[in-house]
Amino acid sequence: DIVMTQSPDSLAVSLGERATINCKSSQSVLYSSNNKNYLAWYQQQPGQPPKLLIYWASTRESGVPDRFSGSGSGTDFTLTISSLQAEDVAVYYCQQYYNTPYTFGQGTKLEIQ
């Protein structure tokens, strides 16, 4: 199985400031034949299912604010929120869909400082 490890486990950021969450996979999730990274980011708010934010490591899902961005390749990835808003308080997960079993990071809890 591909192990996904996120850092930090929790993060407190002031409103309007940048938030950065990292995700590392135990093996590359870059598929050489199409040069795509099989990596997604989700936001989960209490009592809700996860919401897809980013796929292919850097493609923003329709309707997701442009303050959310994803970057990275191979085994190291980053989710950045450029200017934190109150509604961004949530737990964030990365996920690899390179192969089954699909696996998720342990989650990063983002709070307002």
Partner 1 sequence: QVQLHQWGAALLKPSETLSLTCAVYGGSFSGYYWSWIRQPPGKGLEWIGEINHYGSTNYNPSLKSRVTISIDRSNNQFSLNLKSVTAADTAVYYCARPLTVAGNDAFDIWGQGTLVPVSS
Residues forming the site for partner 1 (CB under 8 A): 1, 38, 40, 42, 49-52, 55, 61, 93, 95, 97-107
Which residue is listed with tokens 């093996």?
27
Find, among 58, 55, 61, 63, the residue nearest to 102 by Cα: 55
The amino acid sitting at 67 is R
The amino acid sitting at 13 is V
Task: Give the three-class secondary structure for 78.
Answer: strand
Question: Could you tell me the smallest distance in angstroms from the CB atom of residue 12 to partner 1?
Answer: 19
Q: Toward partner 1, which CB reaches closer, 40 or 79?
A: 40
Q: What is the rounded distance in angstroms from the CA atom of residue 96 to the CA atom of residue 105?
A: 9
Question: Could you tell me the smallest distance in angstroms from the CB atom of residue 104 to partner 1?
Answer: 4
Q: Toward partner 1, which CB reaches closer, 64 or 67?
A: 64
Question: Could you tell me the smallest distance in angstroms from the CB atom of residue 54 to partner 1?
Answer: 8
